[in-house]
Structures are given as C-alpha cells and as structure tokens.
C-alpha cells in the first residue's frame, strides 16, 4: 500500500517532529528529499551512537528518505532549494522560529509562486502569538502543555519516557498533509499548515483538561497507576515481578472480587461499590489487592486475571519488546538498511501488506549528486559546489 507514490516532499527538517512526519509520508510511498547542512547534517545524527554507531533517534525517524546537503545561506544553495521546491508537492520545515521566512521560504512567498504547493510549518508554539519566537524542545513543551503536572508520583513530576510532544506534532503534521493532498485533488490548490507542538500536546491532554474543567481539582499524579480508575495499575506478585491490571466497569469489578480476590462480598461493600467509591478508598483497597497478588506468582496472577476476565499486561523491558510474541506472530518486525548495515525496524502500523515500504536510512549527502543531476547540474558543477561547502 503506497498511495503517495508520485508525491514529492522536500523536507528542511531536524530533530524529531518534522522528520517523524516525513517518515510516515515516505512509508506510504512519497519521495522525501531531506535537506541537510553540509558536513554536519541534521543534528539528531549526533544525539547518540547506540545503533551500530548511528543515532537511535535518527535511525527511527529517517528511513526511506534521500539526503541532499545544501547550504541554503549561500545564494547558490538557496536557488537550488527553490528549484527543488518548484517541482515538489509538499514543503515541510521545522527550522528555528522565523528562520524559514527570513530565508525567503515562508508559506506566503512560496505559495504565491506555486499555488498548488502544500507548505507545512512545524514549530514549538505556532505563529502569531506571544510565544511565536520561542525555541521549543520536547520537555519544555511537556511542561507548558500541563503534561508534567499530571505525570509522575505524588511527590515528584516526571517527563514521559518518549518525546511525546515531538511525536504528537509529527503525527498531526502527517495527517494534515494527507488531508491537504486530498483537498488539492478536489480544488487543485495547496494550503498552509501551521502545526505546533504545544497545540498537538494540549489536544492529547483532553481528559485531564476536562477533568479539571471550570477550576475543578486536577487528576492527581499517580505513578504507573491510573489517576481516577481503581484498581488499575501495577501490582507486585509473589515472585517479585510486576503485573498491570485494569478493572474498567462494575461487571468486571464484581467478577474480579469473586474469581481473583475470592471475596465476593467486597463487590457491594459501600467503600467499593462504584469506581468513584473505589477511587476515594484506593489506599485501603490497594492494600487488599496487593496482598492477594503477593500470594501468587506473576504467571498465576496473569492466568487468574485472564479467567475473570480482567485486562492485564506484563511490564516488559525494552529487550523483551524486541522479542514480543505478538509482534513476531503478526510479522511486524522487518529490516531496514543503514550506513552501518541492516537493523530491525517495526513495519508501519495499519497497512498489513507482506512487504511494506521500508527503504534505507540515508548517509549524510548520499543522494546529493543524483538530485542535483536531476536539476541539470553537471558532475563538474556539483564537484565545485561540494568543494566550496555549498553541497
């Protein structure tokens, strides 16, 4: 399934948010030309060296792309970029606030020249507004969006273990570009998309925001437990392993009391009869549930929870995720080529084709000569640009 074959995306991108969006487009068949700085490239290339000497962030967010190095501060580099954009369907960028406009790559200027072009700007806070010029990184936006205020333990806030704000913005950029391509198919016109990390993350904060609506008390930080549903969270079995479980409704609660706890009378106890009651008395109820888990091994607890049935899960290590039996059974792990050799990669969620598009992670500037050749430059001309640090 490659519905974006024939679509060209020029991406002036760095870090995670925009690269993650363009990788989704590449997975669906788009040609993504990633424009990078000569010599250094996307700074995410140097975040770490955990994947055969390559950056884990870069390998994750950049498969299926072509790497073109250009110094767009040099007039020759900028002119080449503008020629590329003239033949593109989508221009995606997440430079520092205002940098694209200062370089003559603002949405208004580009779309005046190319009415069919879709321009997608990804930024921390969007424009206009008092925060428009602020630099933004994932953790900072997690703080601004309120995510930190509801994540962690009662004693201490904690950031999410993945770059949630980057991913949220990347996915809204991706889905917005798809929508804009559909709209252009009807009208022939492109559009300007302005995706901010703040707005994307605040959208994902919908439940806590509404829970605290009109000045109400916000949900408490509850560690790995659910903040407002109980029992829903981690418990330690007798063998020391952690099992997560979730009672979602009153029918499950009643069966959980009978089958798992062996105490059917608790189902109608006035402290536990409804979820609101259980939440108010979570400390006492949690102690009862924890005592039962301590009598069982993790395997016994999971089997008994399945007999209720109540949803449950192991707390997997990352090594266990690579070997997850469900991913293996569904054939979701494939290989992608990288400059350091093949590495495992998860197939794009959704499409179930046996051979998803999962092309290589590019080396810095790997496709520079090919792409500039397509623009009509001779080998000697490209050599000169490379020698002078323009390409």
Catalytic residues: 166
The span from the CA of 65 to the CA of 49, in Å, is: 20
String of DSSP letters for 120-168: EEEESS-SSSTTTT----HHHHHHHTTHHHHSB-SS-B---SS-HHHHH
The span from the CA of 8 to the CA of 85, in Å, is: 9
Please state the separation of Cα 256 from the chain's center in Å.
35
Alpha-helical runs (H) found in the chain? 17-27, 56-61, 75-86, 99-102, 107-113, 138-144, 147-150, 164-187, 197-204, 206-211, 250-255, 275-280, 282-294, 298-307, 318-322, 325-329, 368-374, 379-387
Q: What b/e sequence results for 71-95 when a residue is b if at least 16 CB atoms lie within 10 Å of its CB, and e otherwise?
A: bbebebbbebbbebbeebbbbbbbb
The answer to whether the beta carbons of residues 18 and 170 sit under 8 Å apart is: yes
Burial of 154 (0-12, 13-18, 19+ CB in 10 A): exposed
The answer to whether the beta carbons of residues 211 and 150 sit under 8 Å apart is: no
First to last CA, the chain: 34
Dihedral sign computed on CA atoms, order 46, 49, 50, 54: positive
CB atoms within 10 A of CB 237: 20
């Amino acid at each position: 399934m490659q519905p974006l074959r024939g679509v060209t995306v020029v991406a002036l991108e760095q870090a995670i948010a925009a690269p993650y969006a363009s990788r989704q487009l590449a997975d669906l068949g788009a040609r993504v030309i990633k424009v990078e700085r000569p010599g250094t490239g996307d700074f995410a290339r140097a975040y770490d060296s955990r994947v055969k000497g390559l950056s884990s962030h870069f390998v994750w967010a950049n498969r299926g792309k072509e790497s073109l190095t250009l110094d767009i501060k040099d007039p020759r580099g900028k002119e080449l970029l503008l020629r590329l954009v003239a033949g593109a369907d989508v221009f995606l960028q997440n430079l520092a606030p205002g940098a694209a406009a200062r370089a003559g790559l603002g949405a208004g200027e580009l779309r005046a020249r190319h009415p069919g072009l879709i321009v997608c700007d990804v930024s921390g806070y969007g424009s206009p507004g008092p925060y428009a010029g602020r630099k933004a990184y994932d953790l900072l936006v997690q703080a601004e969006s309120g995510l930190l205020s509801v994540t962690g333990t009662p004693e201490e806030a904690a950031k999410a273990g993945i770059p949630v704000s980057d991913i949220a913005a990347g996915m809204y950029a991706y889905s917005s570009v798809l929508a804009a391509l559909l709209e252009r198919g009807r009208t022939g016109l492109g559009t300007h998309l302005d995706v901010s990390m703040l707005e994307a993350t605040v959208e994902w904060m919908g439940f806590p925001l509404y829970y605290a609506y009109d000045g109400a008390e916000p949900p408490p930080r509850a560690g790995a437990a659910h903040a407002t549903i109980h029992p829903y969270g981690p418990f330690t079995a007798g063998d020391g392993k952690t099992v997560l479980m979730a009672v979602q409704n009153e029918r499950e609660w009643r069966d959980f009391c009978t089958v798992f706890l062996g105490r059917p009378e608790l189902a109608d106890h006035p402290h536990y009869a409804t979820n609101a009651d259980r939440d108010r008395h979570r400390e006492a109820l949690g102690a009862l549930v924890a005592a039962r888990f301590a009598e069982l091994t993790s395997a016994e607890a999971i089997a008994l929870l399945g007999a209720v049935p109540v949803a449950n899960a192991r707390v997997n290590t990352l090594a266990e995720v690579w070997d997850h039996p469900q991913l293996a059974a569904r054939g979701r792990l494939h290989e992608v080529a990288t400059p350091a050799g093949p590495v495992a990669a998860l197939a794009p969620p959704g499409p179930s084709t046996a051979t998803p598009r999962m092309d290589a992670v590019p080396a810095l500037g790997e496709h520079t000569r090919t792409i500039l050749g397509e623009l009509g430059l001779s080998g000697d001309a490209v050599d000169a640009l490379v020698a002078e640090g323009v390409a």
